[in-house]
Amino acid sequence: MRSRVVIANWKMHGSSAFLAEMATGLNAEQDLGATDQVVICPPSVYVQSLRQLLKDTYGVGAQNVNDAAEGAYTGEISASMLVDSGCDWVLVGHSERRQYYAESNDWIAKKAGSALSAGINSVLCIGETLAERQQGKAEQVVSSQLNSMLQLEGIEKRADQLFIAYEPVWAIGTGETASPEQAQEMHGFIRSLLPGELKNVAILYGGSVKPENAAELFAQDDIDGGLIGGASLVLEQFVDICRAMPVTGSTT
Ligand code: PGA
């Protein structure tokens, strides 16, 4: 059985007051449906406080990590520092980081490698732009983004710690979602590229997931959950998305 995961990506949003409000709301929530693991990724500066505020049943993640263990890298944060702050999840290779901070596939794989070695669950974000899709290059782009990760030594032994998020760039924050069929097609393709033990890693969909479209997306054979941006900032919407997970499905 593949795990079913819903992750909130708060991006650069939030404050101490917002943290406290969301933690109170999430802690009071009794029904998160069939979602196995709910994870909140606030800006790094809030990871430690959120870990202290949230019940243990929630995971807390960072939105980025550096591949180096320590050193003169102003502004950067290492995997061991994340662990030390109570963080057990991290996003790597989000399209906004690829676009604004020139993160390459190889660097992203190194970041994931250092997070995985530190025992952090790592979510590799991949996805094509609109131009790439229109040029018929979506599968090529996604497979090269995935390939750098698959080159990591010993990656097959990390199947229980590795997660993939397929986020078509044209669907992020645009209100335009991939149709369930489009998303399933790409998730099936991604799974077909995964070797051996990695075949059963959870593949999450991201890109304008809302309470209205979550159930249909999560019902697809190869969609094991979601990475949620905008809707994760509104407690009721985020909780409704978690509850949209079908009780059966996502079986191996
Ligand atoms: P969105 O963001 O849900 O606001 O489209 C998703 C993401 O970027 O992870």
pLDDT tens sequence across 204-226: 999 999 999 999 999 999 999 99
Is the model's pLDDT at 19 over the cut of 80?
yes
Question: 């990506």: which residue's tokens?
Answer: 9
Strand, helix or coil at 183?
helix
Decide whether any atom of ligand 1 lies within 6 Å of the 61 Cβ.
Answer: no
Dist CA 202 CA 224 (whole Å): 5
Give how far the C-alpha of residue 251 lies from the chain's centroid of Cα atoms, to the nearest Å: 20
Q: Give the residue-averaged pLDDT of 137-145.
A: 97
Is the model's pLDDT at 251 over the cut of 80?
no
Concatenating the DSSP letter of every residue in 77-108 gives --HHHHHHTT--EEEES-HHHHHHS---HHHH
Q: Give the residue-averaged pLDDT of 228-235.
A: 98
Give the phi and the psi of residue 238 in degrees, each rounded to 5.
-65, -45
Query: If pLDDT is split at 50, 70 and 90, which confidence band does 173 have?
Result: confident
Q: What is the rounded average pLDDT for all residues in the chain?
A: 96
Residue 250 pLDDT: 44
| Partners of 239 in beta bridges | none
For 182, the enclosing helix (H) or strand (E) is helix 180-193
Decide whether any atom of ligand 1 lies within 6 Å of the 172 Cβ.
Answer: yes
- Expressed in angstroms and rounded, the spacing between residue 154 Cα and the centre of ligand 1 is 30
Is the model's pLDDT at 127 over the cut of 70?
yes
CA atoms within 13 A on the CB side of 169: 20
Residue 169 pLDDT: 95
Determine the residue of 100, 208, 210, 217 to mutate for testing ligand 1's pocket, defined as the one with the most ligand atoms within 8 A of the Cβ atom. Answer: 208
Supply angle C-alpha 230, 233, 239, rounded to 5.
100
Chain segment 49-81, per-residue pLDDT in tens:
999 999 999 999 999 999 999 999 999 999 999
Concatenating the DSSP letter of every residue in 122-150 gives EEEEE---HHHHHTT-HHHHHHHHHHHHH
